[in-house]
Amino acid sequence: MIHAFAFYMFAVVAVASGVLVISARNPVHSVLFLILAFFNAAGLFVLMGAEFLAMILVVVYVGAVAVLFMFVVMMLDINFVEMRQGFLQYLPVGALIGLILFVELALAVGGWAFAPEAAGLAASPAPAPDQVSNTHAIGQIMYTKYIYLFQAAGMVLLVAMIGAIVLTHRRRPGVRKQRIHDQVMRDPKESVKLRDVEIGKGI
Does the pLDDT of residue 79 top 70, yes or no? no
155: left (phi over 0), alpha (psi -120 to 50) or beta: alpha
Residues in Cβ contact with 35 at an 8 Å cutoff, skipping those fewer than 6 apart = 62, 66
Question: CA dihedral in degrees (125, 131, 137, 143; nearest 10)?
Answer: -140
**Cα distance between residue 14 and residue 134, in whole Å:** 24
- pLDDT at position 155 is 94
- pLDDT at position 151 is 92
Residues in Cβ contact with 141 at an 8 Å cutoff, skipping those fewer than 6 apart = none
Average of per-residue pLDDT across 39-61: 84
- pLDDT at position 156 is 93
- pLDDT at position 84 is 62
Residue 54 pLDDT class (50, 70, 90 cuts):
confident
Does the pLDDT of residue 66 top 80, yes or no? no
- pLDDT at position 35 is 85
pTM more than 0.75? no
Residue ranges covered by each domain of the chain: 126-171
3-state helix, strand, coil in the chain (%, to 5): 75, 0, 25
Residues in Cβ contact with 150 at an 8 Å cutoff, skipping those fewer than 6 apart = 142, 143
Per DSSP, 201 falls in state: T
Model pLDDT for residues 134-183, shown as the tens digit of each residue? 778 888 888 888 899 989 999 998 998 898 888 777 777 777 777 787 88
Q: Do you know the residue count of the chain?
A: 203
